[in-house]
Amino acid sequence: MSEAAPLLEVTNLKKHFPIHKGVFSRVSGQVYAVDGVSFTIGRGETLGLVGESGCGKSTVGRTLLKLLEPTDGTIRVGGEDITKLDRAGMLPYRRRMQMIYQDPYASLNPRMTAGEIVAEPMVIHESGTPQERRERTAALFQRVGLRPEAAAYYPHEFSGGQRQRIGIARALALNPDLIVGDEPVSALDVSIQAQIINLLMDLQDEFKLSYLFVAHDLAVVEHISHRVAVMYLGRIVEMTDKKSLFEMPLHPYTEALLSAVPIPKASARGRKRVILTGDVPSPINPPPGCHFHARCPYAMPRCKTDVPALREVTPGHFASCHLHDGGVRFPLQAAA
Amino acid sequence: MNPTQPAVQAAGGPAVAPAAPVLQLDNLQTHFFTAVGTVRAVDGVSYELKAGETLGVVGESGCGKSVSALSILRLVANPPGRIVGGAIRFQGRNLLELSETEMESIRGNEISMIFQEPMTSLNPLYTIGRQVGEAIALHQGLSRGEAMNRAVEMLRQVYIPEPERRVHAYPHQMSGGMRQRVMIAMALSCNPKVLIADEPTTALDVTIQAQILELMRELQKTFGTAIVLITHDMGVVAENADRVVVMYAGRKVEEAPAADLFDNPGHPYTRGLLGSIPHLDTAARSDTGRNRLTEIKGMVPSLFNLPPGCSFAPRCSFATDHCRQETPSLMQYRPGHWVACWHADRLLGGAS
């Protein structure tokens, strides 16, 4: 439990899903959902994880909480390796790591009242007396902006934004250190989205929480995160503080992603942008070499064969791209 | 009465072309009659669309933006929904007075629509070619073979690789972006005057969204189609629409040229909406403290029992007793900039 160790340290994490075929469920292939991902999250820090659908960002969140068994790699919490722990061994760590889900309609049990939902983690982990739990539930409701009387209602009686507040209260119930948010605001209307983002940031300051914020909306991720990791087809292609990511994207995919986000300003009309051709390839048979080479405007012959490693190109700024093999190249066009 | 003039104008002219409107909604009212009460989903909405123009319609879920679009094509399920008042004029004819047969000759031919979900709006049992060709065969009286050739041509126009092979593919064999291209090919196959795009890119990834929007802009230039772009994404509107209509709880609360709306929003709701979106550039540059987003307090009111007066008043920081008693009507505060708010003067005065 040394203070020097980051709260969470993930090294070369892999999660492959076997594809079964035929009567004997022979394994006929693998989905390389997460294929060697490494990052750390410090105390009180938010790491944003962005990428398009199917890039493996949600699988990273689930695997590091061991909701899915990792195929390879290590997960350290406060310096302790939790990768090989069994159910019982995981229990103390589960209290410290909680999750908020995307769909506020599917992630709450419709047969439980809001109060029971929020108190459930405390019951499972035998935290406090029933009276203490009730008091804590009421305090949590208040903290996330719900009336304590609302504890008696069932999920269907709440709006989407309110349900997401219930999910947040549940995640906070055991005073966790780390919360993984899997697209926690993407199902909400814009005006409600702002309320939830503000709430998450306030709670972070108040309780010194660390967040892994998984989302596809780059503007939201840039807003809430301190550092951002960009994923493409199971791998992190770039990771740095949010300012460098925006001002000096070193991976062609990040550059395209940034330029594709529509900007709600009159001056944004007709700006020059990089438009990628084609679709994201399948993670079942990812292309050899750099996964991005088929869509990359700067692809070179070696990109088709050699996998670029995620390297620290400038201090604190990691990118996996052959363009920087001979030193930093920015802007990227200069290299082409 | 004059036929639609081509909106050809010297470059540098204002964004608003002086053409007659192709489509005009006049005080449209679409209500849903349910067991628990009447929902005024669209409650007196008017807007018009000129040839070659893109009109953005924005608002949050339940504001009536999609129902108003479905009403244009008379696709609102009846029961429970019914258009109870107003008029929809297409090239001067009121669509609400047409027979179903007459309507069929307009639907998919003169006015067509792209839906949000490319997965569910294509029939999984028919090939792409058959579905794209169907509208062509129906409206242009072509034979099946001719329609198929035209389908290939349309798929080529929306940049589907190997269109000769892809016409024989089924929807499940294509990605989300490809399916949305097929939808666009289908919608544009009869060269419609008006295209209604209801959240056309919401289900797509950003890089694919950028491809699709680029394609729509390009096709609009080629065919001169007028587009109603319905979305909740203010960024998509800012980059694509010429004019914008903002809806809240079944009513139009603001209408303005896009540039004016984003620079000087006149309605507190529009202002709140713009303040509540994280901006990529400002978010990235504030490297020290993370700014709080402007919140709009509370939530969208239930359409079953709207408050009297301005529907937005309970969430509005400008609201006074006047707002809670009397519904503000739309007034023009600047050229082409209409706002329904008792305090718009103050808001716009402060902004300019």
**Which chain A residue shows the shortest CA-CA distance from B201?**
A262
Q: CA A181 → CA A15, A208, A214, A229, B249, distances in Å?
A: 19, 16, 6, 15, 31
Backbone angles phi, psi at A318, to 5 degrees: -100, 140
Residues 279-298 on B with a CB inside 8 Å of A are 279-281, 283-285, 287, 290-296
Q: CA A294 → CA A1, A276, A279, B274, distances in Å?
A: 45, 10, 10, 37
Give the tens place of pLDDT for each residue, A125-153: 999 999 999 999 999 999 999 998 899 99
Nearest to A190 among B206, B277, B290 (CB): B277
Between chain A and chain B, how many beta carbons pairs sit less than 8 Å apart?
146
Residue A189 at interface with chain B, using a CB cutoff of 8 Å:
yes
Per-residue pLDDT, B281: 80
- Per-state percent for chain B, helix, strand, coil, to nearest 5: 35, 25, 40
Inspect the interface and report whether the beta carbons of B276 and A218 lie closer than 8 Å: no
Residue A256 at interface with chain B, using a CB cutoff of 8 Å:
yes
Per-residue pLDDT, B16: 45
Nearest to B277 among A246, A259, A264 (CB): A264
Q: Can you tell me which residue has the tokens 């992190």? A: A236
Q: Kindly tell me if the per-residue pLDDT of A174 is higher than 90.
A: yes
**Which chain B residue shows the shortest CA-CA distance from A248?**
B284
The H-or-E segment that residue A258 falls in is helix A252-260
How many Cα atoms occupy the beta-carbon half-sphere of B287 within 13 Å?
9
Per-residue pLDDT, B322: 93
Inspect the interface and report whether the beta carbons of B238 and A262 lie closer than 8 Å: yes
SS (H, E, C) B225-291: CEEEEEECCHHHHHHHCCEEEEEECCEEEEEEEHHHHHHCCCCHHHHHHHHCCCCHHHHHHCCCCCC
> What is the DSSP-derived secondary structure letter of residue B13?
S
Q: Kindly tell me if the per-residue pLDDT of A195 is higher than 70.
A: yes
Residue A260 at interface with chain B, using a CB cutoff of 8 Å:
yes
- How far is residue B343's CA from residue B236's CA, in Å, rounded to a whole number? 28
- The C-alpha of B247 sits at a distance from chain A's nearest C-alpha, in angstroms, of 14
On whether the pTM is more than 0.90, the answer is no
- How far is residue B75's CA from residue B78's CA, in Å, rounded to a whole number? 9
ipTM: 0.83
Residue A258 at interface with chain B, using a CB cutoff of 8 Å:
yes
Inspect the interface and report whether the beta carbons of B279 and A265 lie closer than 8 Å: yes
In degrees to the nearest 10, what's the CA dihedral of B296, B299, B301, B302?
Answer: 160
Residue A280 at interface with chain B, using a CB cutoff of 8 Å:
yes
Backbone angles phi, psi at B226, to 5 degrees: -90, 135
Residue B208 at interface with chain A, using a CB cutoff of 8 Å:
yes
Tokens at A297, concatenated:
């405007």
Residue of B239, B247, B294, B311 to mutate, interface with A, max A Cβ within 10 Å:
B239
Per-residue pLDDT, B286: 67
Q: Kindly tell me if the per-residue pLDDT of A2 is higher than 60.
A: no
| Segment B195-211 mean pLDDT | 87
- The C-alpha of A300 sits at a distance from chain B's nearest C-alpha, in angstroms, of 22
- The C-alpha of A132 sits at a distance from chain B's nearest C-alpha, in angstroms, of 30
Tokens at A74, concatenated:
């290590």
pLDDT cut 90: percent of chain A above it = 71
**Which chain B residue shows the shortest CA-CA distance from A242?**
B284
Tokens at A141, concatenated:
């409701």
Which of B177, B288, B277 is closest to A191 using CA atoms?
Answer: B277
Give the tens place of pLDDT for each residue, B74-131: 999 888 899 999 999 999 899 999 999 999 999 988 999 998 776 778 899 999 999 9
Inspect the interface and report whether the beta carbons of B273 and A191 lie closer than 8 Å: yes
Sign of the torsion formed by the C-alpha atoms of A169, A171, A175 and A181 = negative
Inspect the interface and report whether the beta carbons of A191 and B235 lie closer than 8 Å: no
Per-residue pLDDT, A4: 65
Per-residue pLDDT, B15: 46
| Segment B293-319 mean pLDDT | 87
Per-residue pLDDT, A275: 82
| Segment A297-320 mean pLDDT | 94
Nearest to B232 among A190, A258, A269 (CB): A190
- How far is residue A43's CA from residue B156's CA, in Å, rounded to a whole number? 53
* Average pLDDT for chain A: 91
| Segment A100-117 mean pLDDT | 91
Tokens at A280, concatenated:
């994201």
Q: CA B171 → CA A49, B54, B62, B124, B174, distances in Å?
A: 31, 29, 29, 6, 6
The H-or-E segment that residue A80 falls in is strand A80-81
Inspect the interface and report whether the beta carbons of B238 and A220 lie closer than 8 Å: no
DSSP notation for B67-135: HHHHHHTT-S-TTTEEEEEEEEEETTEEGGGS-HHHHHHHBTTTEEEE-S-TTTSS-TTS-HHHHHHHH
- How far is residue B221's CA from residue A270's CA, in Å, rounded to a whole number? 14
| Segment A26-38 mean pLDDT | 90
Residue of B119, B280, B316 to mutate, interface with A, max A Cβ within 10 Å:
B280
How does residue A53 score in pLDDT terms, banded at 50, 70 and 90? confident
- How far is residue A95's CA from residue B177's CA, in Å, rounded to a whole number? 41
- How far is residue A6's CA from residue A309's CA, in Å, rounded to a whole number? 23
Which of A213, A211, A176 is closest to A58 using CA atoms?
Answer: A213
How does residue B289 score in pLDDT terms, banded at 50, 70 and 90? low
Tokens at B231, concatenated:
């979305």
Q: Kindly tell me if the per-residue pLDDT of B232 is higher than 70.
A: yes
Give the tens place of pLDDT for each residue, B148-181: 999 998 898 888 888 899 899 999 888 888 888 8
A30 CB burial (10 A radius; 0-12, 13-18, 19+): middle
Give the tens place of pLDDT for each residue, B235-274: 999 999 999 999 999 999 999 999 999 999 999 999 999 9
Nearest to A223 among B258, B272, B283 (CB): B283
